[in-house]
Amino acid sequence: MRLRNIPGAREFVAAHPLVITDSGELPGPWKDIFGNDYPIHIEIGMGKGRFIIDMAVRDPNVNYIGIDRYESVMIKALQKLDKMGDTAPENLRFIRMDAVDIEEFFKEGEVDRIYLNFSDPWPKERHSKRRLQSREYLQRYDKILSRDGHVEFKTDNAALFEFAVRELEGTHWKLKYISRDLHSDPEAMKNNVMTEYEEKFSARGQKICKYVIYR
Ligand SMILES: C[S@@+](CC[C@H](N)C(=O)[O-])C[C@H]1O[C@@H](n2cnc3c(N)ncnc32)[C@H](O)[C@@H]1O
């Protein structure tokens, strides 16, 4: 999701108190930033932030961090939170970055869950390493995830999903859950929090695929 350039978005995002920038101390001080040592769950490619905001409201005993590379989408999440005033969750922060640099922001084993929701498919084969489910990215997740950490991935894109499942072959990653039609699984839907893209695509009748992996 890349929205048209929004004048002032870069400055707004950079100056917003919920946006964490690399001050030279990272990776490491997340406990200080949140003022507690609750588990850390991150969403890579949060877009306008509907999912991560809903998750943070739902579970105040988890610290959530939304990551996106574009200010033009992150600004939407920040404006939404600003409008919420006192009801905005306190357990939510943001990083504006390309996930290729994720290890610069998290220490080994510091993250307990990684959400990848409706990630960009990068359909050209020569760009496959840029897919957030590629082996290159799995290796990065391996470093920052805690021992019991999980990666949860949802998409409407069947080709990207099959690629993601193939990337697990011959690795130490294991499938904890897999569905090629999540919305037909009543048990899994009990705790499902919809993303913006999920609502859009499922309303059009497209099937939503999901996996949960661990190692
Ligand atoms: C298709 S949107 C999905 C937004 C949201 N997760 C949802 O499900 O509604 C994908 C988002 O991922 C972001 N993104 C893609 N690749 C990224 C990367 N390497 N690092 C950070 N953000 C990325 C894009 O900027 C975009 O906002």
- Consecutive 10-residue runs of the chain (215 residues): their mean pLDDT? 78 95 77 95 98 98 98 97 96 97 94 98 97 98 97 98 98 98 98 98 98 98
Ligand 1 center–CA 107 separation, angstroms: 22
Pocket test for ligand 1, best of 5, 116, 120 (most atoms within 8 A of CB): 120
Angle, helices 50-58 vs 71-84, to 10°: value is 40
Residue 154 is predicted with a pLDDT of: 98
Closest atom of ligand 1 to 46 CA is: 6
Distance 85 CA to ligand 1 centre (A): 26
Ligand 1 mean position, distance from CA 120 (Å): 6
Q: Which pLDDT does position 25 carry in this prediction?
A: 73
Geometric angle at alpha carbon 117, from 189 and 120, rounded to 5°: 145
Q: Tell me which of 54, 59, 120, 142 is the catalytic residue.
A: 120
* Confidence at residue 75, expressed as pLDDT on a 0 to 100 scale: 97
Of 64, 69, 127, 140, the residue with max ligand 1 atoms within 8 A of its CB, to mutate for a pocket test, comes to 69
Centroid of ligand 1 to alpha carbon of 135 (angstroms): 18
Q: How far is CA 37 from the centre of its chain?
A: 20
Q: What CATH class is the domain 9-21+37-214?
A: alpha beta
What pLDDT shows up at residue 149?
98
Give pTM, 2 decimals.
0.96
Q: Which residue ranges have their beta carbon within 6 Å of ligand 1? A: 1-2, 44-47, 67-70, 73, 98-100, 117-120, 195-198
Mark whether 120 is an active-site residue. Answer: yes
Q: Angle at Cα 170 formed by Cα 172 and Cα 208, nearest 5°?
A: 80
pLDDT at 3: 63
Nearest to 210 by CA among 170, 157, 144, 146: 157
Atom of ligand 1 nearest to the CA of 154: 8
Give the strand order in the sheet containing 174-179. Answer: 92-96, 63-68, 40-44, 111-117, 145-155, 209-214, 174-179
